[in-house]
Chain A
Amino acid sequence: GIQVEQSPPDLILQEGANSTLRCNFSDSVNNLQWFHQNPWGQLINLFYIPSGTKQNGRLSATTVATERYSLLYISSSQTTDSGVYFCAVEGWDNNDMRFGAGTRLTVKP
């Protein structure tokens, strides 16, 4: 199956700072999504982005499919952005979605 690597594993920011999270994957994909898991365990879909760039408020994401990576940008971070951010991908040959190990973000007031 496809391998997914996320970096950094942990990130601590001061409120108001910007950050970039990275997701590398080992094969071409037809599906890539970013999720936020809040401190209570709920998983929220942020972006469906197998290629290109999308923006939603302070969050944006870019996937460069030919180079097998995706980036999640968080600007002007807030304490409510804390939690774990997961990248998940699916290859062209099956519907088996693979998650990375996540980036744990802590935003301090």
Chain B
Amino acid sequence: NAGVTQTPKFQVLKTGQSMTLQCAQDMNHEYMSWYRQDPGMGLRLIHYSVGAGITDQGEVPNGYNVSRSTTEDFPLRLLSAAPSQTSVYFCASSAFPYEQYFGPGTRLTVT
């Protein structure tokens, strides 16, 4: 049971590039979400999904897209990277509305 996995662990992008952060869980959880954490701050919700085919915006959705075609996977797409998107990104899943389990995070730097 791997829990929540995220790839890559580290990524450097140039301004304007696009990329996809991968997130997968093997616990058959319905609820999955993406957060960003900036230095010295708590986590802020970007997008979430309550099941396959259903996604919704969180607190800071601009510049990001998501889709949920399967229960297991919830990729996060950066459409045109900006320096303001430099952050650590965490994916989480839960058997809604219970305990959330977090992945190890992806550290993204946009230059």
Contacts and interface: CB of A to CB of B under 8 A. Distances in A.
A and B assemble together: yes
A86 B50 contact: no
B74 interface: no
A45 B3 CA distance: 13
Contacts of B100: 33, 35, 45, 88, 97
Which bracket fits the contact residues of B? 20 to 34
A90 B58 CA distance: 12
Nearest to A1: B59
Interface of A: 1, 4, 30-31, 33, 35, 41-45, 48, 86, 88, 90, 94-102
8 contacts: A4-B42, A33-B100, A42-B102, A86-B42, A94-B56, A95-B56, A96-B48, A96-B59
**Interface of A (DSSP majority class):** strand
A95 B99 CA distance: 14
B97 A100 contact: no
A30 B43 contact: no
